[in-house]
Structure 1
Amino acid sequence: MQMGTRWTAGAQPPASVPEDLWGPIAHVEALSVGTAGPAPRWTLTWLEGRPVAELDTGVIVTKDRTGAVVVQHDPDDTFA
């Protein structure tokens, strides 16, 4: 079993976040994190052994079944 974690956008991801997600996470933060208000937070969970990092804004960074990193927006997120 793999445990998830949370961290604030702009901070270095915890060691439990696979390093190949760090670049895409940093890219998402550069595009979406402003200076007004508190910084959004990331939540790392695991789905079928694959990492899923979701920003409070609804952006998701994950790996597909082939291991390729995918960045998408949660279509069900009503807060973004």
Structure 2
Amino acid sequence: MRMGTRWDSGAEPPASVPALLHEQIAAVDATVTLSGVQPKPRWTLTWLEGRPVAELETGAVVRQDRDGQVVVGHVDALED
């Protein structure tokens, strides 16, 4: 079993967040910074079928799909 974690938008992702997600997490964080949302929303890392899923409280999701690709979207619109 893998444990998830939480961190603030704009902060460095914890070591448990796979490096392959970092670039897209930073891209989503940049949009939050530009929007001036306060307080900063938090990310939650979970694992679905062994693949990482990072979800921001705004509904933005950065995850690894079945093919190993990083997918960015919204929680209401993503399908695997």
The normalised TM-score by structure 1 is: 0.89
Runs of 4+ in structure 1 over 2 Å off: 32-36
- Report how many aligned residue pairs link the two structures: 76
**Which residue matches 1:60?**
61
Q: Deviations over 1:22-69 (max 9, x none)?
A: 000000111133334210000000000000000000000000001000
Q: Percent identity?
A: 61
* Distance in structure 1 (CA, Å) of the matches to 2:40 and 2:75: 19
CA RMSD of aligned residues (A): 1.3
Instruction: State the AA in 1 paired with 2:59.
Output: G
**Which residue matches 1:6?**
6
**Which residue matches 1:50?**
51
**Which residue matches 1:24?**
24
The normalised TM-score by structure 2 is: 0.89
**Which residue matches 1:15?**
15
Instruction: State the AA in 2 paired with 1:59.
Output: A
Instruction: State the AA in 2 paired with 1:46.
Output: W
Which runs of 5 or more residues in structure 1 are unaligned?
none
Which runs of 5 or more residues in structure 2 are unaligned?
none
